[in-house]
Structure 1
Amino acid sequence: MATPAFEDIAETFDFLDNWEDRYRHVIELGRAMPPMDPALQVPATKVEGCASQVWIMPQIENGRFDFQGDSDALIVRGLIAVLHALYSGLPVGEVPKVDAPAELGRLGLDAHLSAQRSNGLRAMIKRIRDTAEAAA
């Protein structure tokens, strides 16, 4: 049930030989994301449970889910970009149905993130799912 953008990331990960290259790719994905307006980086958009500073601002237009996100850590900004590829453009009712751990597991991220990063990633997914469920 992954989006074409997420499938592109998965294909790139399959092509990259080692985790150093994959981490570099995740960081590049984060660098390529448009910056989040600092005015949106407020307590209401801050994601608790992350070691880094993380903000996610969900947006629903015409029944489709999207979000802006940002972090003060490059790797986390890249993880936000991966989540954006996973969820952006889906009908809002489909967002909670995405098996994010399984999809991210295809990338092997679960085995290569620290416990703190994994906790933060789960917190970001929870924020996305909760927002979509409330809007559906």
Structure 2
Amino acid sequence: MSLPADAVMALDTFQAAAGWEQRARLLMQWGDRLPALSDVDKVDANRVHGCESQVWLVGSLNDGHWQFAASSDARLIRGLVALLLARVNGLSADELRQVDLPEWFNQLGLSRQLSPSRSNGLNAVLQRMNELAG
């Protein structure tokens, strides 16, 4: 399965990082670049339950391809969510169901950043995406 352009860019950037500290900085930068969600979208209906931090997610279907937007009150989680969005935006519902979250973060060299609770939270975000995609 081919990767969305943003995912390819993320992989190139993170795999070129010199070490853990540089990847951690990149993670924060990705989070900072995440477009802000409007307060209208930050409602309980869009909140992803199962995350320790607050995460909101909205999605829309354009010509059979899903586009998601998300935000979090935690900077590190914003970075991880931004990288998840890079991986999934533009996918069809079928492709979305095939996304392997641990493998994606492993390829980025960020597995050690995924504590069990963060991993569960990101899985909850991906699960919510799949629910929205029906």
TM-score, normalised to structure 1, is: 0.89
Aligned residue in 2 for 1:12: 13
Aligned residue in 2 for 1:41: 42
Is contact 1:110–1:118 with CA below 8 Å preserved after alignment? no
Residue 88 of structure 1 deviates from its aligned partner by 0.7
Aligned residue in 2 for 1:26: 27
In 2, Cα distance between equivalents of 1:114 and 1:99: 17
Which residue type is aligned with residue 109 of structure 2?
Answer: G
Residue 103 of structure 1 deviates from its aligned partner by 2.0
Aligned residue in 2 for 1:79: 80
Gaps of 5+ in 1: none
Is contact 2:93–2:130 with CA below 8 Å preserved after alignment? no
Residue 16 of structure 1 deviates from its aligned partner by 0.8
Residue 115 of structure 1 deviates from its aligned partner by 2.1
How many aligned residue pairs are there?
133
Matched, 1:54 2:55: yes
* 1:86-125 → structure 2 map (5 Å cutoff): 86-125=87-126
Q: What's the % identity of the aligned pairs?
A: 36
In 2, Cα distance between equivalents of 1:38 and 1:50: 19
In 1, Cα distance between equivalents of 2:18 and 2:118: 22
Which residue type is aligned with residue 43 of structure 1?
Answer: D
Residue 96 of structure 1 deviates from its aligned partner by 1.0
Deviation string, structure 1 residues 35-66 (Cα, Å, up to 9, x no partner): 10111111111011111110011111221101
Matched, 1:66 2:83: no
Residue 98 of structure 1 deviates from its aligned partner by 2.2
Which residue type is aligned with residue 61 of structure 1?
Answer: N
In 2, Cα distance between equivalents of 1:63 and 1:73: 31
In 2, Cα distance between equivalents of 1:88 and 1:62: 13
4+ aligned runs moved over 3 Å, structure 1: none
Is contact 1:31–1:74 with CA below 8 Å preserved after alignment? yes
Is contact 2:101–2:123 with CA below 8 Å preserved after alignment? no
In 1, Cα distance between equivalents of 2:104 and 2:115: 18
